[in-house]
Amino acid sequence: MGNLISMEGNQAAAEAMRQINPDAMAAYPITPQTEVVQTFAQFVADGRVDTEFVTVESEHSAMSACVAAAASGTRVMTATSANGMALMWEILYIAASTRLPIVMALVNRALSANINIHCDHSDSMGARDTGWIQLFCENGQEAYDSLIQAVRIAEHPQVRLPVMVCYDGFIISHAVECLELLNDKEVQKFIGEFKPVNSLLDISHPYTFGPLDLYDFYFEHKRQQIEAYGPAKRVVVEIGKQFATLSGREYGLFEAYRLQDAQLAIVLMGSAAGTAKEAVDRLRANGLPIGVLKLRAFRPFPSEELTQLLSRFEAVAVLDRAVSFGAAAGPLFTEISSALFASNRRPLLVNYIYGLGGRDIDIEDIQEVGEKLKKTAESGKVEQPFDYIGVRK
């Protein structure tokens, strides 16, 4: 049993980082992530961590230093948001393709323009193809827990990929919650010691990182990388189970909330999942057979598992907190519908865009989604495949 304490999501993330005590951290401040960096800087200043903290001049340099420090055989962490991660974009690919187990807290925020510091998932979605494992969190507890698990997932010999732990800006990062923390020794024992496969600093085995890789080998390297996400899926589940024995809190690729006897489902990620659970409870009280599928792992995307789970449903609403401009639907919807297409039996699917730039989503909004979903299921056809929640015309 851990310690109960009230703290903000960002403080919880910084606390997880303190307990992980990485060898190196390179980070740059950006709202709403800033508190993670400054809290950690205080830990460094007070000698509460052994970490070499590099206060870089940009996020691009933050990720570059992380890549190099990880290639030098150290355990490395960082944190960012929105435009900051957009500036890292080039190096995000390099981190993943070099198979470096970097762990990053991504405090989800809308991308410019216009500039907006509040939550949506457009930063994560812009990086969905970079090769990073992406875990989404519903609250501060999950952010804390997932950062600790992320170290094990990233460093697992069959994975060796960077992990970003995504949690909603302000809604989670600045909200005070009552959290259950593990003690330092438990965390250290759980994560163990980092054993790098190759290191620049191993002078008896000189190693060349980042070579020129042309048409004769690049494709094979990409294939190896593609095939790493299969084991990654298993490892996310395995580490989630191991974490449960330590904390009593189990994690997997997704959470199925009241889905067992449901015929209707709402699929979404992040803090709105909590709102959706409450909405579902209320709809259930009115006799609606509905549940929530809260996706945790967007990458690796659990296609087979979701197909198996969702194909029997009558109607499913997918709620996206990001857009893919010019596409027919939001990125989460596209993934879900593409996964379900492989099944002989498919639910009716509708897509909603919500919450861009921090726009609130209420319990009532999601209740309305449920009511409409019921009508869709009854009529047997989708009248409006794409709609918005809470936006003026």
Partner 1 sequence: MASLKQLSSKKELLTGGHRLCAGCGASIIVRQVLLAADTPVVVAASTGCLEVATSIFPYTAWRCSFIHCAFENAASTLSGVETAYRALKKKGKIDQDMRFIAFSGDGGTYDIGIQALSGACERGHRMLYVCYDNQAYMNTGIQRSSATPLGAATTTSPAGKVLPGKTQNRKDLTEIIAAHHIPYVAQASPSRWNDLVSKAQRALQAEGPSFMNVLSPCPRGWRYPPNETIKMAQLAVDTCIWPLYEVVEDKWRLTYRPKQKPPVEEWLKAQGRFAHLFKGDNQQVIEQLQAEVDRRWEELLEKTS
Binding residues (CB under 8 A) for partner 1: these are 23-24, 26, 50-52, 54-58, 60-62, 64-74, 90-91, 94, 200-203, 206-214, 217
**66 vs 339 by CB, closer to partner 1:** 66
Alpha-carbon Rg for the chain, nearest whole angstrom, is: 21
**65 vs 292 by CB, closer to partner 1:** 65
**22 vs 355 by CB, closer to partner 1:** 22
User: Closest distance between partner 1 and the C-beta of residue 135, in Å?
Assistant: 24
Q: What are phi and psi of 280, to 5 degrees?
A: -65, -40
The kind and range of the H/E element at 147 are helix 140-155
* Alpha-carbon torsion (357, 362, 365, 371), positive or negative: positive
How far is CA 233 from each of CA 33, 136, 192, 323, rounded to the nearest angstrom?
27, 14, 21, 25
**73 vs 231 by CB, closer to partner 1:** 73
Residue 9: closest CA among 95, 81, 113: 81
Phi-psi region of 240 (alpha: psi -120 to 50; beta: other; left: phi over 0): alpha
3-state secondary structure of 29: coil
**213 vs 362 by CB, closer to partner 1:** 213
User: Closest distance between partner 1 and the C-beta of residue 197, in Å?
Assistant: 14
User: Closest distance between partner 1 and the C-beta of residue 118, in Å?
Assistant: 28
User: Closest distance between partner 1 and the C-beta of residue 189, in Å?
Assistant: 18
**207 vs 388 by CB, closer to partner 1:** 207
User: Closest distance between partner 1 and the C-beta of residue 146, in Å?
Assistant: 24
* Those residues with Cβ within 8 angstroms of residue 195's Cβ, 6 or more apart along the chain or in another chain: 155
Please name every residue paired with 296 in a beta bridge, in sequence order, or none if there are none. Answer: none
d(CA 319, CA 356): 12
**72 vs 334 by CB, closer to partner 1:** 72
* Alpha-carbon torsion (270, 276, 277, 278), positive or negative: positive
User: Closest distance between partner 1 and the C-beta of residue 82, in Å?
Assistant: 20
Q: Are 89 and 58 in contact (CB under 8 A)?
A: no
User: Closest distance between partner 1 and the C-beta of residue 248, in Å?
Assistant: 32
